[in-house]
Amino acid sequence: MVRREIFTDEHIAFRDMVRSFIDKEIRPFHEQWERDGVVSRDVWLAAGRQGLLGIDIDEEYGGGGNADYRYYLILGEELARAGVHGPGFAVHNDINGAYFRRLCTDEQKRRWLPGYCSGDIITAIAMSEPAAGSDLQGIKTTAVRDGDDYILTGSKTFISNGILADLVIVVAKTDPEAGAKGVSLLVVERGMKGFDRGRNLDKVGLHAQDTAELFFDNVRVPAANLLGEEGQGFVYLMHNLARERLAIGAAALAGAEAAFELTLEYCKTRSAFGRPIGKFQHNRFTLAEMKTELTVARPFTDRCVMAESEGRLSAEEAAMLKWWNTELLVKVVDRCVQLHGGYGYMTEYAIAKAYQDARIQTIFGGTTEIMKEIIGRGLGV
């Protein structure tokens, strides 16, 4: 891999460590996890021991201290390059970590963060509902204040880490009449009465990543589990969604680059009519087009990574990145399957698994259409 200017020697050493971790703790088990539909909790504990969880959480809680976003970026890239999407570290680190680090009270930090960093506590965030996906203002889940508790009622779906999660950040309406200003974030804990998990959803791809339905039947959530201020949930979500979309977009580009590299090697070694298939002009042109598109996408991705590291990534830039890179991933992987011919449709081949896993990328975290809407609004139209 060509060294990228945005990384220091420390980042490069961290990448080497992550690759070793993946080779030792994930690759040997991932095929079984795919069959199981969920990873072992052991990999979370191993990640905690290796310092891969809570990288930017204060050291007093077991985190890595004031580490910059590029470490999370490296972890996400390497998981994508390896095609091992089972461990939902990105939800835990890239998404939920930003909420816990910014919004937790000191008491909440003491209660949750040590386990969060060690891997003993796995987290999820519950936004999507059966009738409300990208339109977060359309959620129906409510949380009514009752003394020192909130009574939480509703359901969520498509929740990554939903089966394994010990803590779930739930988006709920605490004041249904106030619109966006009536949305709050509550942390629901495993074992709370009335909190139930539905089935582990059967997906087209990402088979090792547990994705669940969650149900809340008059769950008493202590007011002490309110994350941030009541009524500010929508503001928090809008602020943190840019980071989530950056994580998805950056991983998508890494996955597309890996698919291309795999296919380029295949085109050099697979022969037809007496010569490598990459020697045929159409195939060579297809490879040239993909290489160009990937090369053009890389600088903007790295620019967004640095913007996030410096606290200046805009919602519009994140939307551009998420849209462009996820659509590019789908396009590149589709072309790569075609170049593999019949073998590309066999699930024993890595490119077939990449094909299955790629399709969701343009949907979760905000669809391509929503990304274009965000960009358009930023233009004042």
For residues 255 and 146, membership in a common domain is answered with no
Rounded Cα distance between 336 and 297, Å, is 18
Q: Is residue 3 part of a domain?
A: no
**Is residue 1 over pLDDT 80?**
no
Average pLDDT on 57-83 reads 94
For residues 218 and 308, membership in a common domain is answered with no
Kindly give the residue spans of alpha helices, DSSP state H, lying in the chain: 9-21, 27-36, 41-49, 70-82, 89-90, 97-103, 106-118, 233-269, 281-309, 315-340, 350-358, 368-378
For residues 155 and 183, membership in a common domain is answered with yes
For residues 177 and 92, membership in a common domain is answered with no
**Is residue 240 over pLDDT 80?**
yes
Domain of residue 177: give its range. 124-231
Structural domain ending residue among the three candidates 189, 211, 231: 231
For residues 246 and 372, membership in a common domain is answered with yes
Q: Please, what is the average pLDDT of the chain?
A: 95
Q: Is 316 a catalytic residue?
A: no
Banded model confidence at residue 141, pLDDT cuts 50, 70, 90: very high
Rounded Cα distance between 197 and 53, Å, is 24
User: What's the pLDDT at 130?
Assistant: 86
Query: Per-residue pLDDT tens for 176-226?
Result: 988 889 999 999 999 999 999 999 999 999 999 999 999 999 999 999 999
For residues 245 and 372, membership in a common domain is answered with yes
The CATH number covering residue 171 comes to 2.40.110.10
Choice among 77, 78, 213, 244 that is catalytic:
244
For residues 317 and 345, membership in a common domain is answered with yes
More confident residue, 196 or 134: 196
Structural domain ending residue among the three candidates 72, 97, 121: 121
Banded model confidence at residue 71, pLDDT cuts 50, 70, 90: very high
Q: Would you give the DSSP letter of residue 50?
A: T
3-state SS record for 81-132: HHCCCCCCHHHHHHHHHHHHHHHCCHHHHHHHHHHHHHCCCCEEEECCECCE
Structural domain ending residue among the three candidates 101, 121, 141: 121
Rounded Cα distance between 381 and 371, Å, is 14
User: What's the pLDDT at 2?
Assistant: 58
Q: Is residue 2 part of a domain?
A: no
For residues 240 and 337, membership in a common domain is answered with yes
The CATH number covering residue 37 comes to 1.10.540.10
Banded model confidence at residue 66, pLDDT cuts 50, 70, 90: confident
Q: Is residue 269 part of a domain?
A: yes
Q: Say if residues 141 and 155 touch (Cβ distance below 8 Å).
A: yes
For residues 270 and 352, membership in a common domain is answered with yes
Q: Is residue 196 part of a domain?
A: yes
Rounded Cα distance between 191 and 228, Å, is 23
What's the domain count of the chain?
Answer: 3
Query: Per-residue pLDDT tens for 96-126?
Result: 999 999 999 999 999 999 999 999 999 999 9
